[in-house]
Amino acid sequence: MEFPSFYGSNVWSACANMRVWTLFLLLLLLETGVVCSSSDYLVGLGSYDITGPAADVNMMGYANTGQTASGIHFRLRARAFIVAEPKGKRVVFVNLDACMASQIVKIKVIERLKARYGDLYTENNVAISGIHTHAGPGGYLQYVVYIITSFGFVHQSFDVIVDGIEKCIIQAHENLRPGSIFVNKGELLDAGVNRSPSAYLNNPAAERKKYEYNVDKEMTLLKFVDDEWGPVGSFNWFPTHGTSMSRTNSLISGDNKGVAARFMEDWFEKKGYEKTDSAKTEDGGLPRKISNIIPGLHNNKHELLEIATSFQSSPGRSASKTSSVSKRVRGAHRKDDKPRFVSAFCQSNCGDVSPNVLGAFCIDTGLPCDFNHSTCGGKNELCYSRGPGYPDEFESTRIIGERQFRKAVDLFNTVDEEIEGEVDFRHTYIDFSQLEVTISDEGDSEVVKTCPAAMGFAFAAGTTDGPGAFDFTQGDDKGNPFWKLVRDLLKTPTKEQIECHRPKPILLDTGEMKKPYDWAPSILPIQIIRIGQLVLLCVPGEFTTMAGRRLRDAVKTVLTSEEDFDFDDIYIVIAGLSNTYSQYVTTYEEYQVQRYEGASTLYGPHTLSAYIQEFKKLAVALINDEAVEAGPEPPDLLEKQIGLLPPVVVDGIPLGVNFGDVCADVPQNSTFKSGDMVAASFWSACPRNDLMTEGTFALVEFLQEKDDWIPAYDDDDFCLRYKWSRPYKLSSRSRATLEWRIPEGVTPGVYRFRHFGAAKGLFGSIHHFTASSSAFVVA
């Protein structure tokens, strides 16, 4: 059918006017910030550098006074996600490449967030969790017992963590956009073993029969998808200790979970999640936007050597404070219109889970350690567990990290269940020092109490991941007269305290030690975060496998008994080491055995029952939309902190030398291949002068054009290590050694090292410098 021409022209004129008005309305909506979307959530992610002082500061985790930082394996980061209902509640979860969360850190982070955003982000809806690496600088917790080995409080460690958390939350807030969240879970069988199996076996046989393994093997993963940009990140939870790096390691490292996060973020940037079904990580790096200086030249070693020979080491020269930031590999390729992909590998109930999956052996005989006490000829110092890369701890770290990474990629690529439902949270503070707990058993009930904090003798024995010293052993339920005498010089526990903690023999009565200020926490935060069918239980400690199972089951029973919770399949995940730190939580039965974990369960044999009781109250309040009391506030002890770490006085160099000059160059006319280790050393300065936050101390540069050097690898890459040393402890002189293990698949060509540093002058001025090594060939 045909219409008169005038009719057609009027119709098209009306349609054109309609398009103009539609465009106008859309522009108006965008200008006013009102965006229409079918998404139920706003999603934002952020990440920021929290690498602390890489010199002189004791590592947090093993409590080994001889383990002080002297370089960087790869950098530490704070990673955050925010999930918000467009017109409702919101939650923040921060994952730290640190040993654990800290109460004083969270207090100060919340103060900053309130100053910036008002009551949008508070202690109630913000959770901060640590991955439990034992290779990060210590001194950032406020209680005495946790900062003894770091010679007290280290403000530099504390400040960089607080700053990094704040900045990653700001990033996530500014990245909030309509998006979707997906959830997946799956088994990872070869990334953790139980390091206290004799304690686990003390749990009831009927309970143990419900589970196939004596550690949890399940990883739970969230995938965040922006409506416009597509996938923007993933967070997963899986229990295994951050102890692949040993108690003698001195390089700052995120251990196996930090490695996994670095691998996954680089994998996504390099491959694009839609373009690969494999997870190759030989280079530990992201897309290297480099090509050969002359096409076809990479096969001509002679000509490459000629080019390399023309680039000799450069003398040290002044540099700007931000020069190392501008040279960062991952900073160079960031897209302006889209934030980087953020991936976090979070900790769960890892209390008795070791990544050293080959088992524990005696270093003198090579035989397995004693099963019950983890000793060798009665000595615990000789019993060490072995990682899958034994005897190379770096290789063990890579392997366990890669296993977690591969499982996360698999879950990421196969996820199909979307998160649906409301966002909510509950948080309260509980005084665990004398909490009444009602215990029910076959219809009978009994009221018991928790105890003021105390640590048992087996605490000093350490674990098979890092044994202690002297004559302490795991499984000690009696103590030693000599060490009791030493204990009494600090604080003699009362009869009531001894009886309350029985059968734990008290070595340190930390809960009743108050000089110069509190030695251990008594007021702890507990928190539930709900995002649809995912429920996070944020616990301030290390739950053992069975303790975590009991807590999850108790909360699940509460949630599924309520008609308002309309999900048949819910995901209840323990987020360990969250918001503050209070050591371990075992089951009542495991506590009786008094291995390391039981001796480190601070509040007595009923600690787990107390957690279950209080979490069930939070779960009921969550389901019934009821408020909970805030509880007693924990102390802010920042002004009382004592720090005994000497400052950097001045940096020195030999006469006739500049800061940055090469003191041990790459061999002349050298050609290397994948798998080789290349190294160069520079006259340097103490890295405490400038942490190079979001920058780098070390670079491997690639010759792109005839005189154009571009960054290829930096000190956030697994394959490049920055090592700092001084000839003796009080020397003002120091060296930086850069070691590059050439990865598989590296682009052939001409490379060189570049070092960035900052030297402190006699009157406190800071001088930034840089220098490069001679060039070398990778064929």
Please give the C-alpha separations between residue 450 and each of 437, 445, 525, in angstroms, as whole numbers. 8, 16, 16
CA-nearest of 381, 358, 380 to 370 is 380
Contact 122, 235 (CB under 8 A): no
CA–CA distance, 311 with 299 (Å, rounded to integer): 20
Can you point out the beta strands (E) in 342-498?
342-346, 353-354, 359-362, 383-386, 417-418, 423-431, 436-441, 444-449, 455-456, 462-463, 466-467
CA–CA distance, 57 with 69 (Å, rounded to integer): 6
Is 354 catalytic? The answer is: yes
**Helices 255-271 and 393-414: angle between axes, nearest 10 degrees:** 50
The one-letter code for the residue type at 44 is G
Q: H/E element holding 399?
A: helix 393-414
Contact 354, 544 (CB under 8 A): no
Specify the residue for token string 């109250």.
Answer: 617
Please give the C-alpha separations between residue 196 and each of 201, 356, 359, 360, in angstroms, as whole numbers. 9, 13, 11, 11
Catalytic residue among 354, 374, 734, 774: 354
* Cis ω for the linkage preceding 667 (within 30 of 0): no
3-class DSSP state for residue 190?
coil
| Residue-wise burial string across 423-445, b where 16 or more C-beta atoms lie within 10 A, e elsewhere | bbbbbbbbebbebebeeeeeeee
- Helix %, strand %, coil % for the chain, to 5? 25, 30, 45
Contact 40, 85 (CB under 8 A): yes
CA-nearest of 392, 353, 77 to 188 is 353
Contact 267, 405 (CB under 8 A): yes
Contact 507, 519 (CB under 8 A): no
CA–CA distance, 260 with 431 (Å, rounded to integer): 36
- Which two tokens mark 456? 């048992």
Please give the C-alpha separations between residue 647 and each of 54, 71, 650, 681, 688, in angstroms, as whole numbers. 14, 17, 9, 24, 9
Contact 103, 527 (CB under 8 A): no
- Which two tokens mark 144? 């005495």
The one-letter code for the residue type at 735 is R
Contact 674, 745 (CB under 8 A): yes
- Which two tokens mark 462? 């350490």
| Residue-wise burial string across 494-507, b where 16 or more C-beta atoms lie within 10 A, e elsewhere | eeebbebbeebbbb
Phi-psi region of 96 (alpha: psi -120 to 50; beta: other; left: phi over 0): beta
CA-nearest of 495, 422, 483 to 456 is 483
Specify the residue for token string 């770490």.
Answer: 645
Active centre residues (catalytic): 354
